[in-house]
Amino acid sequence: MKKGFASDNNSGVHPAILKAIENANAGHVVGYGDDPYTQKAIGMFKDKFGEETEIFFVFNGTGANVLGLSTITQSFNSIICAETAHIQEDECGAPEKFTGCKLLPVEPVNGKLTPELIQHHLKGFDFEHHSQPKVISISQVTEMGTVYQPTEIIALADLAHKNNMFLHMDGARIANAAVALDMDFREFTKDCGVDVLSFGGTKNGMMMGEAVVFFNPKLTKLTKYIRKQSMQLYSKMRFVGAQFQAYFENDLWKQNAAHANKMARLLESEVAKIPQIKLTQAVEANGVFAIVPPEIIEPLRERFFFYLWNDAKNEVRWMTSFDTTEEDIYGFTDLIKQLLE
Name which of residues 70 to 99 contact a second copy (CB under 8 A).
Answer: 74-78, 88-94, 96-98
Interface with a second copy, residue 234, by CB under 8 A: yes
Nearer to a second copy, 9 or 255 (CB): 9
Interface with a second copy, residue 66, by CB under 8 A: yes
x/- contact string, 258-297, with a second copy (CB under 8 A)? Answer: ----------------------------------------
Sign, CA dihedral 308-311-314-315, equals negative
CB of 273 to a second copy, least distance (A): 25
CB of 49 to a second copy, least distance (A): 23
CB of 341 to a second copy, least distance (A): 27
Interface with a second copy, residue 104, by CB under 8 A: yes
Determine the size of the site formed for a second copy (CB under 8 A). Answer: 81
Q: What is the DSSP string of 262-317?
A: HHHHHHHHHHHT-TT-EE-S---SSEEEEE--HHHHHHHHHHS--EEEEGGGTEEE
Q: Which amino acid is at 22?
A: E
CB of 262 to a second copy, least distance (A): 18
Interface with a second copy, residue 225, by CB under 8 A: yes
Distance (Å) of CA 218 to CA 54, 93, 149, 214: 9, 28, 27, 9
Site for a second copy in 110-139 (CB under 8 A): 124, 128-132
Binding region for a second copy (CB under 8 A) out of 155-163, 178-186, 236-244, 263-271 = 236-244
Closest by alpha carbon to 181, among 285, 318, 324, 44? 285
Site for a second copy in 294-333 (CB under 8 A): 305, 321, 323
Binding region for a second copy (CB under 8 A) out of 10-18, 139-147, 265-273, 275-283 = 10-18
Sole binder of a second copy in the list 35, 54, 143, 195 (CB under 8 A): 35
Sole binder of a second copy in the list 51, 182, 218, 235 (CB under 8 A): 235
Nearer to a second copy, 38 or 188 (CB): 38
CB of 201 to a second copy, least distance (A): 11
Interface with a second copy, residue 32, by CB under 8 A: yes
Distance (Å) of CA 303 to CA 28, 148, 317: 45, 33, 15
Distance CA 106, CA 251 (A): 35
Closest by alpha carbon to 114, among 145, 159, 165, 170? 159
Nearer to a second copy, 59 or 254 (CB): 59
Interface with a second copy, residue 207, by CB under 8 A: yes
The answer to whether the beta carbons of residues 7 and 307 sit under 8 Å apart is yes
Site for a second copy in 46-65 (CB under 8 A): 59-63
Q: Which amino acid is at 101?
A: C
The answer to whether the beta carbons of residues 56 and 220 sit under 8 Å apart is yes
Q: Which amino acid is at 86?
A: H
- The C-alpha angle with vertex 156 and arms to 154 and 159, in degrees rounded to 5, equals 105
The answer to whether the beta carbons of residues 96 and 251 sit under 8 Å apart is no
Nearer to a second copy, 129 or 273 (CB): 129
CB-facing half-sphere around the CA of 21: CA atoms within 13 A: 16
Closest by alpha carbon to 144, among 72, 214, 70, 89? 89
CB of 190 to a second copy, least distance (A): 25
Sole binder of a second copy in the list 69, 157, 226, 292 (CB under 8 A): 226
